[in-house]
């Protein structure tokens, strides 16, 4: 299922994006099944949003993070509206497990922190923890763009997962910016060192915690946040290590 969301640009800060007041353009986040995410677990990969359903699984679970006013987690961190031309889901928050602070479970990273410079760099890992790999629906996933603490844009999307068992060698699902809409997102990124924050609403969640992390596609181990050496680099490292070992033996 491919569902487009939209980009919302504040009328106050839209001058550098489109001239003439508020800018509204179609854009969105889409699920990219070609990326296999690995290296999961809170121990080695902090998350930017954590949502956990408690009690009634028939009602949606929702969570929000915002850097406005320092750092905010919960209902007050939600936009309170859908993105322009969005999917109709407004995130309300309230299902964020403690501790609700900037730590292992939550974050609002700067683009420079993650090495993101273009829309094609942006990846959002969804790591589901449903019992038995049961289904879950990401009714809304919103990526918000902040500049100097002010919200300047947002894109959203959604995806139903019939199973949350990603498959051999994979540990999560990845959302990316729709290729047709990268120009709009690149205009936002060009405005300065953008800070990212996430919102999400999940339907049919019976487990948890469900987590999301923003990462740079292609330069890390999709979601783990650790650099992965290229094969050539590993070979060169091995040669250098052998050479050093031989020199040490000669000296001794």
- What pTM, to 2 d.p., does this model score? 0.79
Of the candidate ranges 69-73, 90-94, 200-204, 247-251, the one whose mean pLDDT is the lowest: 247-251
pLDDT at res. 166? 82
Burial (CB count within 10 angstroms: exposed 0-12, middle 13-18, buried 19+), residue 90: middle
Higher pLDDT, 143 or 208: 143
Q: Note the pLDDT of residue 38.
A: 72
According to DSSP, the β-strands at 61-66 and 195-203 are: antiparallel
The confidence score (pLDDT) of residue 43 equals 57
Angstrom distances, CA of residue 40 to CA of 77, 173, 189: 26, 11, 28
* CA torsion through residues 65, 67, 68, 70, sign: positive
Q: Which pLDDT score, from 0 to 100, does residue 126 have?
A: 94
CA separation (Å) from 252 to 50, 241, 249? 55, 17, 5
Q: What is the enclosing helix (H) or strand (E) of 186? A: helix 182-189
Tell me how far apart the alpha carbons of residues 237 and 74 are, in angstroms, rounded to a whole number.
46
Asked whether residue 58 is domain-assigned, the answer is yes
DSSP letter at 170?
-
Q: What tens digit of pLDDT does each residue of 121-176 get?
A: 999 999 988 888 889 999 999 999 999 999 999 999 999 999 998 877 778 999 99
- In this structure, the chain runs to a length of 252
At 219 the pLDDT is 64
Provide the pLDDT for residue 231: 38
- In DSSP terms, 50 is beta-bridged to 211
Q: What is the pLDDT of residues 11-51, one digit of tens each?
A: 444 322 322 233 344 449 999 999 887 755 555 678 999 99
Q: Domain of residue 10: give its range.
A: 6-251
Count of structural domains, the chain = 1
Mean pLDDT of 201-222: 83
Note whether residue 179 is domain-resident: yes
**Residue 132: predicted pLDDT:** 85
Residue 20 lies in a domain: yes
Residue 77 lies in a domain: yes
Q: What mean pLDDT comes out for the span 63-69?
A: 95
Instruction: Indicate the average pLDDT of the chain.
Output: 79
DSSP single-letter state for residue 43: T
Residue 70 lies in a domain: yes
């Amino acid at each position: 299922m491919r569902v487009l969301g939209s980009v919302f640009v504040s009328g106050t800060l839209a001058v550098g994006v489109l001239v003439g007041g508020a800018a509204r353009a179609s854009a969105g986040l889409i699920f990219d099944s070609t990326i296999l995410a690995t290296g999961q677990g809170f121990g080695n990969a902090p998350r930017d949003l954590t949502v956990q359903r408690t009690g009634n699984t028939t009602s949606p679970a929702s969570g929000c993070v915002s850097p406005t006013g320092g750092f905010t987690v919960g209902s007050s961190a939600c936009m309170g509206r859908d993105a322009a031309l969005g999917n109709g889901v407004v995130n309300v928050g309230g299902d964020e497990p403690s501790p609700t602070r900037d730590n292992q479970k939550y974050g609002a990273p700067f683009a420079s922190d993650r090495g993101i410079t273009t829309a094609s760099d942006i990846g959002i890992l969804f790591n589901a923890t449903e019992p038995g790999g049961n289904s879950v629906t990401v009714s809304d996933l919103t990526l918000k763009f902040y500049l100097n603490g002010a919200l300047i844009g947002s894109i959203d999307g959604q995806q139903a997962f019939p199973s949350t068992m990603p498959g051999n060698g994979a540990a999560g699902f990845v959302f990316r910016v729709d290729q047709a809409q990268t120009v709009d997102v690149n205009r936002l990124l060009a405005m300065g060192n953008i800070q990212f924050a996430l919102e999400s609403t999940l339907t049919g969640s019976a487990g948890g915690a469900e987590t999301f992390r923003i990462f740079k596609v292609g330069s890390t181990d999709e979601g783990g946040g650790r650099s992965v050496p290229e094969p050539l680099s590993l070979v060169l490292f091995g040669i250098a290590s052998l050479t050093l070992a031989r020199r040490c033996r000669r000296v001794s």
